[in-house]
Each structure stands twice: as structure tokens, then as C-alpha cells.
Amino acid sequence: MLKKITESNTNIIIDENSFNTISKDLNIFYNPLMEINRTISILFLRSIEKHFQLKNKLNICLPLCASGVRGIRILKECNNINSVKFNDMSKNAINILIDNLKLNNIDYIQNKEFENNYINNENKVEYRKNKNIVFNMEANKFLHNTFYSDYIDIDPFGSPVKFIDSSLQKLNKNGFLAVTATDTASITGSSKTASMRRYGSHIFNCENKKELSLRVLATHIIKQAAKLDLKLTPIISYTVKHYARIYFKSEPGKKKVDKHLEKINSFYFCNKCRNYSIELNKCNTCQNELMSFGPLYSEKLSDIKLIKIMLSEFELLKKEINNLNFQKEIEFILNNQIEYNSVNLPFGYSISKIIKYKNINFELNKPDGRTPKLDDIINLIKEKGYDAYCVDKKYLLIKTNMPFKEFYELF
């Protein structure tokens, strides 16, 4: 049964069952929990114009558009957009998409009508740039047959890997690619075989699973882009419960790609004291043999300056739209990524795992006069001249540039 709802300032028709069951078998797929994802994409598109000093308006490509809510919101909430190409292989989804476009007074043209007019148009480039076009095709077929785009957004139900190559083929050389992965077992190490099979990384389940999932996804896409002599750099990356999301900036150039690939490394991990290393094969803290994992991208996953612009844009967006949902969650995600990327080292150190290994019988943050508070430990690290942030309170995970051995000896 269909239902009319409002997301941000956009009215849309969706399958009412979307609020009860998240399933790819729904007639019109709409995930209300992904409103955070969609709002962040709005902030991203509004912010890159300032951050990268873009002069031209953007042509957007949505190969898996479903109900069309992301694309409609982009057209309504961003001023730097030329056009959006909507595509979905579901005929039901396309019918609802068209209703949603009409509901929001968005001009559009369907693919067949566009093709007929395009052939007879003298100024073909301008004609195709300024049209919101609706396609009804399998996503890869659509990408192979469509025009180049400045921004392509891949947001599938499950793994994005089968859409990456065709997306890269149609991404402008200085464009932007956004990718969501919801196959969390594959990218967090819960399923080791799936990680290797789909993404080409040997990993295992650990306390750094959030960052690990982003590095697995980033590594795969960077390596796929390298085959096309494209350097793809992660500029915004984050995780939310059931998915990982990365925004990339592309640059052409073989030398740039070669240098970028040097940032992909194998890592070593001590399963006892929780030490991480790129170089060691034996733990320099407890002398245990280290486990290898990877290869993984080892540089920063987000651009802090861009995140700060996004936070400023978020303040403007809240003034423009009264009923904007998930405000606290979005602010937390963006601020958390500032902390994650303020230390240019991969992975954090887990206090809870270290004290368990050392068999230390105390808990943090208990005001009993005997046990240290988390803030005390972070301040102690900073007093020693290092950076430190708690990025995951479940594992008391600290991102710091303090050498692990020195960190380990704090407890």
C-alpha cells in the first residue's frame, strides 16, 4: 500500500511497508533510516562548491534511485546542480518516481522522448546537461549507455562492488563518487571469506571494525580506479550501524595514481596486547607473533576542512528547513570524523582490551578515588605532547599518535 510522507522539505510517495520491513523485495524501496545518509549527501554537494572552488554546476547520476527522494532533495536543496539522471530497473519504482517528480514540481523527460529530441537537437551538449532524465534500466547497463557525470551516487541494498567499474567508466576525470556498502559482514571481518572474495582484503573481526570497514571499501575502489589511471581520494568517510559510506574525489594522472597506490599497505596485529604495525612482524611490546591483514589504504579517510564547511552548511540548512530530522546524529557523525582524522594514523588502541590482557581489575570513569577517568587518560597523553581522542566508547578506543608501547605502559 502506498503512503505519502515528507522528508526534509520534499513530499514523496513510498511503500507503506518500508517503515515496518527493510527489504529489497518491496515494490518501491525506501529506507527511512537512510535519511541521515541522504542529508549528508546534500551537505556534501553544497560544500564541495566552496571547498574545491567549483565554477560549473554539477550533473548528477543516480543509477539506483528507487523512489527518487535523494535526487529530488538534491534538486530542491542544492543551488549548484545542472541536472539529475534518475535510473532504476524496477518499473514500479519508476512509476512512483514520476509521481514524486510531479508532486514536487520537478521538470523531467523520460529516456525515449529524450533520445528522439536529442538526435534532432543542434546543441546536443547543452540539451543533455540541462535535462532531468528518467531511465528504466539495469544499473550497469544504464551507466554504460549514459553520459559522463560530475557526481555518481551508488547506494545499493548490499555490496556495491558490481557497480564500481561501470561507475568509474562514466565519472568525469575531476568528479566525485559516493559509495554505500551495507554488507557489513564482508567489510568488518565477520565473514573473512567474503572480505577476500568481494574486496580482496584479508581481515578479521576486531575492536577497530568501524574504521576497518571504511579502509576495506576505500582500498577496493582506489585499486579499481587505478586501472583507469584515476586517483580516487577519500574525502568524507563514516559508518552508521548497518552501513559504511565514502565520498571520493577523482583526479587523472598515472604518476598521481602510482604515488597514491604506495599508501596501500599490509598491516600486522597482536592478538594479545592489541598492538598494530605496518613494519613489524613481531610485537615489540609483548613479543608475540603478529597476524598480518590487508592490504589496506593507510592515509586519512576524511578531509577535516571539508567537514567543517559541511557543519557550517548544516547550520544554514537547519534554518532553511524546519522539520529536518536526525540533527544530533548528523552532527555527531561529522564531529566524530574530525576526531578520527585529527590523528593521521590508522586504527586506535583499545583500553578495555589492554586492561583485560594485563588482567588489571579496574573500570574507567568510576568516581571511587582509585580508578582513572577516561578524560584523565586522554589529558595525560596530551600532556606528554601527543594527540588523543576517544572515538568509540564501547571499546574505549583511543586514536593517538603516541607509540603503542608507551600507551601500553600507561596501565
Q: Spell out the long-range contacts of 277-285 with Cβ–Cβ below 8 A and sequence spacing 24 or more.
A: 277/404, 284/405, 285/404, 285/405, 285/408
Domain extents in the chain: 2-342, 349-408
Per-residue pLDDT, averaged over 78-101, amounts to: 95
Say yes or no: domain 349-408 is CATH 3.30.56.
Answer: yes
176-229 residue pLDDT tens: 999 999 999 999 988 888 899 999 999 988 899 999 999 999 999 999 999 999
User: 119 or 190: whose pLDDT is higher?
Assistant: 190
CATH topology of domain 2-342: Rossmann fold (3.40.50)
Residue whose cell numbers read 541494498: 157
Does residue 30 contact residue 19 with C-beta atoms inside 8 Å?
no
From the list 215, 196, 194, the residue with the least C-alpha distance to 265 is 215
303-353 residue pLDDT tens: 999 999 999 999 999 999 988 999 999 999 999 999 999 998 899 999 989
- The conformation of residue 288, written as its DSSP 8-state character, comes to P
Rounded distance, CA 114 to CA 228, Å?
30
352-371 residue pLDDT tens: 899 888 887 655 555 555 45
238-282 residue pLDDT tens: 999 889 999 999 999 999 999 999 999 999 999 899 998 887 778
